Structure 1
Amino acid sequence: MNDLLIEKVELFKVPPRWLFLKITTKNGLIGWGEPVVEGKAATVEACVHELLKFIIGRCANDVEDIWQTLYAGGFYRGGPILMSALSGIDQALWDIKGKYLNVPVYELLGGAVRKKMKMYCWIGGDHPEVVLEQAREKVQQGFKAVKMNATGAFAWIDSIEKVKTVAQNIKLLREEFGNQLDVGLDFHGRIHKGMVKRLIDELAPYDPLFIEEPVLSENNEALNHIYPYTSIPIATGERMFSRWDFKELLHRGTVDIIQPDLSHAGGISEVRRIASMAEAYDVALAPHCPLGPIALASCLHVDFTSINAFIQESSLGIHYNQGFDLLDYMENPEVFEVTDGCINLLKGPGLGVEINEEKLREGQKLGHDWNNPIWRSPDGSFAEW
């Protein structure tokens, strides 16, 4: 298959905080990927360049062998930078393979187990008036589920006054929408172990769909104490980067929903394996995706073939996307139309998204240097964002 030899790899660092990758083969087939860590785009870009010597000249159809070479070919493995670089490359290779065979990627993964995928998107969570306004907007756009921050910055052990404010936003949503709107609550790793159960006590009466990252993933052993305390499903995994990271968590049985990110956890190849591992432990899948259209399409192809996938995140209208939103670099934004809370099967070959390269190159001229904010507690000490 000399016509499928990889000849060129290009990278586009574009607003709002994304890095796109374009792989071109000898016969002119193009595959797209999103290799990025939010706040470390330039570092991941450098990592992709380091990996090019293992990619250029390879047959693009050798998706699994290239994955194994990029992952295991170096003495040091895993982590956010390498796995995110590998993720974008993997996405692009699946895109090429699907286009070469003229089928959607999910067909290459065994075929779809569903005709549509339930979606949710972000509505903030810091101010009550914003929460209601954004929730109404998302419902009008067709969504039946949203997610928001449960809290702002929290001390290791915080005041009762502050604890009593955490349920106000979800309370407003329940008063407005009743149980017709599913609401996920993201603790964002901001809460330390000593406060989690107390916050759950405040939130439980309002029936959140799930609680996400109640503690940071490096403190997953704390879930041994948190998990038995509540009937609310516990979700985590956006800061875990391979099946080996998820292995112990699944074995412990202290999670209900895993949230690997298709741009951080090894791409389509690895997240499909993680999803299968989770299925064996009766754990649901809800891929993390606050990124762009290629990442979202990659998520959906895994969702379409994973029986335990139950909901998918989208960055449409997220506050990070100021100036450039999910659909702005696409030629066919209609494929992500939300109808009755769901996105239908993607029908195009490969990932099924067509990138407007002219707009992408315009965005590249602007670039970005996005970083998350650094938060401080009232006493001046560092606080988790």
Structure 2
Amino acid sequence: MSASNPANLGASTLDTDLADRKAAYLPPSELAVKYAKGLQAHTPPTPHTSATYAAGAANPHLIKKIESFYVRPRWLFVRIETEGGVVGWGEGTLEGHTEAVEGSLKDISRRLIGWDAMNIEDIYSYLHRHRFYRAGEVLMSAMSGIDIALWDIKGKVFGVPVWQLLGGKVRESAPVYGWIGGDRPSDVLEQAKARKAQGFTRVKMNGTESLGWLDSPHALDETVKRLAEVKSVGLDAGLDFHGRVHKPMAKQLAKLLEPHRPLFIEEPLLPGYVKEMKDLYNQTSIPIALGERLFTREQFKPYFELGCIDIAQPDIAHSGGISETKKIATMAEAYDIAIAPHCPLGPLAFAASLQIGFCTPNFVVCEMSWKMHYNTGGFDLFTYMSNPEVFTVREGSISLLTGPGLGVELNEELIRSEAALVIKEGIEPWQNPLFRGPDGSVREW
């Protein structure tokens, strides 16, 4: 190149090309170096102690017995035992509808005795498709309890965690969030400080108390104030509208919250209002989460296709257990939608949700009921566990569960004694509160 033949504007020499190219590539991050060969922490198979089969069983995997136990504060556990003596635990808690699920479990139990517990997909297909009437919260919650227990059995037989059976881990820990504020949110600042001290980096709280269809705009002021207080502690916060907020108020509240950047808003409208959700979605930049009252892939499908949610929240105790929840998560990934399992429930539902989280690329966070406002009377997430240390919260996350099956060990004696006491003393199952407006009309809870 000469002075009489200058380079064109924007042209560069080979040296400057190389210099620019070098500048474009930064050194690998510490995490990139650490995981250059993938996730390599080895989890050796360790068969569960119950997997030492009873002698003489022709097929040790045949289902021998199915039992359910209602235990306080409000959980319904399912226990399946095989002919070989392997025991799996599941959870079919449906808050406020315990007896209905118990009736469905009784019907399922008499059908499944003698089936091979290892054939989970066959059993799921039978329960979901063969009986003509399908889906719905009661049937799906009963199926969830069965399905989770079957995966627990299979993991114990092979001596591996459930996430290993579902394709292997994609992360070494799962982010979680705790609750603050209660059904009628209050004292959120002090509770947020307590959650931070417990190791959480994210929390969730109810967005409002009960609201009228068209309430005073000032009814929303406290919601905005509470979010600002929680954010001041240094926590991210999701707000659960809980379906309490109808369309006229929801669009106002979403706009008011935007400057404070909540982690997400949950159930800003009731399930079923798909087009209305799309209208709201187009009006706000806040991520929208929904799904605890949707129970199958088919019910999630219109939300995915219309593109009106950012985060799907299937509840593993209602949505068919591990089998269906994993399929919902895979389906969501095709629409660039994240998965954040809804789980204000017991240790079995929580462990099952984490198993999904450890092996699912689009998983983002899981709800955790430890010290939640529903856990009263001295009963909490760890009450029936023999190994509560596996749920230790560190830097906002739960470390990889490595035990076989769900990775949770339960105190069966305590479960049986509590369930018997509930029956003996006539303790009624938990019921959700009743909200009424000043005129006496029923409001969404």
Sort the TM-score into its range (normalised by shorter chain). Answer: over 0.9
Contact 2:344 2:367 survives alignment (8 Å): yes
1:127-276 maps to which residues of 2 (within 5 A)? 130-175=187-232, 177=233, 180-276=234-330
Closer/same/farther in 2, CA of residues 326 and 129 from structure 1, 3 Å limit: same
Closer/same/farther in 2, CA of residues 366 and 73 from structure 1, 3 Å limit: same
2: CA distance, partners of 1:132 / 1:159: 25
**What residue identity is the alignment partner of 2:247?**
K
1: CA distance, partners of 2:421 / 2:295: 30
Residue 397 (structure 2) aligns with: 342
Cα deviation for residue 118 of structure 1 reads 0.6
How big is each residue's C-alpha offset from its partner over 1:183-242, in whole Å with a ceiling of 9 and x where there is no partner? 000000001111111111221121100000000112232112100111110000000000
**What residue identity is the alignment partner of 1:100?**
V
**What residue identity is the alignment partner of 2:388?**
P
- 1:64 paired to 2:121: yes
How big is each residue's C-alpha offset from its partner over 1:242-288, in whole Å with a ceiling of 9 and x where there is no partner? 01100111000000000000000000000000000000000000000
Number of aligned residue pairs: 382
- 1:18 paired to 2:75: yes
**What residue identity is the alignment partner of 1:373?**
P
1:303-382 maps to which residues of 2 (within 5 A)? 303-323=357-377, 324-367=379-422, 368-382=428-442
Segments of structure 2 that go 5 or more residues without pairing to the other structure are 1-57, 423-427
Of the two, which has the highest radius of gyration?
2
**What residue identity is the alignment partner of 1:295?**
A
- State the 4+ residue runs in structure 1 displaced beyond 4 angstroms: 125-129
Contact 1:166 1:202 survives alignment (8 Å): no
- 1:36 paired to 2:93: yes
- Greater alpha carbon shift after TM alignment, 156-165 vs 339-348: 156-165
Contact 1:184 1:209 survives alignment (8 Å): yes
How big is each residue's C-alpha offset from its partner over 1:358-383, in whole Å with a ceiling of 9 and x where there is no partner? 21122213434211011100111111
Residue 19 (structure 2) aligns with: none
Contact 2:208 2:220 survives alignment (8 Å): no
1: CA distance, partners of 2:163 / 2:231: 36
Residue 22 (structure 2) aligns with: none
Contact 2:184 2:208 survives alignment (8 Å): no
2: CA distance, partners of 1:129 / 1:287: 25
Contact 1:125 1:169 survives alignment (8 Å): no
**What residue identity is the alignment partner of 2:335?**
Y
Contact 2:185 2:207 survives alignment (8 Å): no
- Greater alpha carbon shift after TM alignment, 166-175 vs 314-323: 166-175
**What residue identity is the alignment partner of 1:234?**
I
1:90-105 maps to which residues of 2 (within 5 A)? 90-105=147-162
Cα deviation for residue 129 of structure 1 reads 5.7
Residue 86 (structure 1) aligns with: 143
**Secondary structure class of the residue paired with 1:124:** coil
Cα deviation for residue 50 of structure 1 reads 0.6
Cα deviation for residue 166 of structure 1 reads 2.1
Contact 2:160 2:404 survives alignment (8 Å): yes
**Secondary structure class of the residue paired with 2:398:** strand
**What residue identity is the alignment partner of 1:302?**
I
- 1:121 paired to 2:148: no
Contact 1:275 1:308 survives alignment (8 Å): yes
1:274-313 maps to which residues of 2 (within 5 A)? 274-313=328-367
Contact 1:149 1:186 survives alignment (8 Å): yes
Contact 1:125 1:150 survives alignment (8 Å): no
Closer/same/farther in 2, CA of residues 338 and 76 from structure 1, 3 Å limit: same
Contact 1:43 1:81 survives alignment (8 Å): yes
2: CA distance, partners of 1:21 / 1:196: 38
1: CA distance, partners of 2:104 / 2:176: 32
2: CA distance, partners of 1:153 / 1:340: 33
1: CA distance, partners of 2:416 / 2:197: 33
Contact 2:294 2:300 survives alignment (8 Å): yes
- Where relative contact order (Cα < 8 A, 6+ residues apart) is larger, the structure is 1
Closer/same/farther in 2, CA of residues 194 and 345 from structure 1, 3 Å limit: same
2: CA distance, partners of 1:174 / 1:285: 23
Contact 2:89 2:149 survives alignment (8 Å): yes
Identical positions, percent: 52
Cα deviation for residue 126 of structure 1 reads 6.3
**Secondary structure class of the residue paired with 1:107:** helix
How big is each residue's C-alpha offset from its partner over 1:54-109, in whole Å with a ceiling of 9 and x where there is no partner? 31101110100000000111111100000000001000000000000000000000
Residue 84 (structure 2) aligns with: 27
Contact 1:297 1:352 survives alignment (8 Å): yes
Residue 53 (structure 2) aligns with: none
**Secondary structure class of the residue paired with 1:154:** coil
